[in-house]
Amino acid sequence: MKITRAQAQANRQHVVETASRLFRERGYDGVGVADLMAAAGFTHGGFYKQFRSKSDLMAEAAACGIAQTVALSKDADLAAFVESYLSREHRDGRATGCTMAALGADAARQPPAVRDTFAAGIEGLLTALVPESAASDPAQARQARARILDRMAHLVGAIVLSRACPDDSPLADEILAACRESLLASISPPAAANDTAPADRHDAAP
């Protein structure tokens, strides 16, 4: 029975979303095409009717996962986002967590299409998270961009280091707690500091 174009597109998107979860959970080299298609409910032979190569699917799956992070980050309360991101639940939930934290190191060893997708995703986050009030002023935009990059590096790096430790290691939790405390302190400076100098309004961005 011939499927419609709309159903074919829906099937393709289902494979991309399934791949996005599996790649985050197992890494790019930990998922074969046959296993991936079986997890999505399709036959191995159908893969090459939808994708030219596994690398193409890796790039699309990365874009899908990063788009989820952008959606969660945009307009979010920064302190609440930091608390959620640097939590044990996120650390242990690889399959549904941040794609950059789960696959950033893997991406560095992948073909250019995959690395280009990660670079585009980071730029997309920056574009979405730089406050509109700063966008019209080049100096403010550069400062806001630098703050966001700094916070992103802290967030992603903390998850990567924590996951590198054994699951029951006290160090794994210590890393998350230390980075969480540092980021939250940078978001909400001590009251005494606010009494002596005008406080910068933080942007709602990681």
Phi, psi of 47 (to 5 degrees): -60, -50
Count of domains forming the chain: 1
State the helix-helix crossing angle for 170-187 and 138-164, rounded to 10 degrees: 160
Residues 6+ apart with CB under 8 A from 93: none
Q: Residue-wise pLDDT tens for the chain (206 aa)?
A: 577 888 889 999 999 999 999 999 999 999 999 999 999 999 888 898 889 999 999 999 999 999 988 888 777 788 888 999 999 999 999 999 999 999 999 999 999 999 999 999 999 888 877 777 777 788 888 898 899 899 999 999 999 999 999 988 999 999 999 999 999 999 876 554 444 444 443 443 45
- Give the residue numbers spanning the domain of 109: 5-196
Q: From the CB of residue 103, how many other CB atoms can be counted at a distance below 10 Å? A: 24
In a domain, 203, yes or no: no
The CA distance from 9 to 15, in Å, is 10
Position 135 in a domain: yes
Does the residue 87 lie in any domain?
A: yes
CATH code, domain carrying 98: 1.10.357.10
Residue 204 belongs to a domain:
no
Reduced to 3 states (helix: H, G, I; strand: E, B; else coil), residue 92 is: helix
Q: Is there a domain that residue 122 lies in?
A: yes
DSSP state at residue 136:
T
For residues 46 and 180, what is the distance between their CA atoms, to the nearest angstrom? 44
